[in-house]
Amino acid sequence: MAWLAVAVGGALGSALRHAVNHTIAAHWIAARFPAGTTAVNLTGCLVIGLLAGLIAGDRLQLPLHSREFIFVGLLGGFTTFSSFGLEALTLARTGAVSMALLYVAIQVVGGLALVAAGYWFGVGR
């Protein structure tokens, strides 16, 4: 059941991400700036933070399959940046600030470096 919840949530999240990107691109004047991706990432971060806070504050009860559907599936399909933000915050809140900073540095710097490396290999240079 968990796999199905994640799959359906992921499909819906991906479709929603595409809809947001398409809508913003159609109305955004500065087309070179990735406004759609920015909107998706920031919205996903707000939603995952709000839900995690509501759950942690015992203001929202969600069964495990609902959490998997929303956090892993829907938000994961919408943006994995929200999961990254929540994981970094969780590390920092639990006292592992240096680990949180290392995690952020590895994800951002390492991710950009690997995108560049993949691109470099892809174009054959």
Q: Per the domain annotation, does 102 fall within a domain?
A: no
Q: Per the domain annotation, does 69 fall within a domain?
A: yes
Q: Per the domain annotation, does 116 fall within a domain?
A: no
Q: Per the domain annotation, does 27 fall within a domain?
A: yes
- Scan for tokens 């799959």, then name that residue: 7
CB 47 within 8 A of CB 82: yes
Domain that holds residue 65: 2-79
In tens, the pLDDT along 49-63 reads 999 999 999 999 999
Q: How far apart are CA 90 and CA 96, in angstroms?
A: 9
Taking CA atoms, 5 is separated from 23, 55, 63, 65, 114, in Å, by 27, 19, 12, 7, 31
In tens, the pLDDT along 58-83 reads 999 999 999 999 999 999 999 988 88
Q: Per the domain annotation, does 85 fall within a domain?
A: no
Structural domain total, the chain: 1
Buried b (16+ CB within 10 A) or exposed e, 56-93: eeeeeeeeeeebbbbbbbbbbbbbebbbbbbebbebbe
